[in-house]
Amino acid sequence: MRTLRNRSKKTADFRKASSTVCSALTKKLRARLRKDKVSEKQITMIFVLRAALAFLYDATKTFPGASVGMMGLRRDEQTAKPIWYYENIPAVSKKSTIVIFDPMLATGGSGEETLKNLAKRGANMRAVYFVCVIAAPEGISKIAQYMPRENIIAGAIDKGLDAKKFIVPGLGDFGDRYFGTTL
């Protein structure tokens, strides 16, 4: 986590540290799902583009029989509200166990939109898990209105949000740092 927070680290270092953290969080998820007696055949993994692609390798290696979906949301920098730009997910039902991967849970806006979308499709909100690298208490509170708080798996819970709705202390824009598009 120290490497992820160090904003002077190069993209390769950030990716390597991301892989370590994503692997650990995926193992924690696997243990939790086993404890909850969830069959891999029931699992649908949803990756919130583009930053959640950091989880893709470890998640599909850990759950090779799970179905995979993608939801593209980006943050409007003026309003901090999510904007949909892509969606391709398998059919879900009340019997599905859904795991949402999104490295940053700040305001909870993207998580909330993803959860609302899944609820409209018939998902059982009690069978949803959310995996993130860093969360702010505000984001946790928001998505816990839709799903069980205990199903949120976070690598770290930071102090909160700043005036621009960024996680403090945070680590910067995860996607930009992971993909090397930071200016």
Provide the annotated active-site residues: 75, 79, 173, 176
**3-state DSSP assignment of residue 9:** coil
Q: Which amino acid is at 173?
A: D
Question: What span, in angstroms and rounded, lies between the C-alpha atoms of 104 and 96?
Answer: 24
Which among 85, 138, 137, 82 is positioned nearest to 115, based on CA atoms? 82
Question: What span, in angstroms and rounded, lies between the C-alpha atoms of 61 and 63?
Answer: 6
As a whole number of Å, the end-to-end CA separation of the chain is: 22
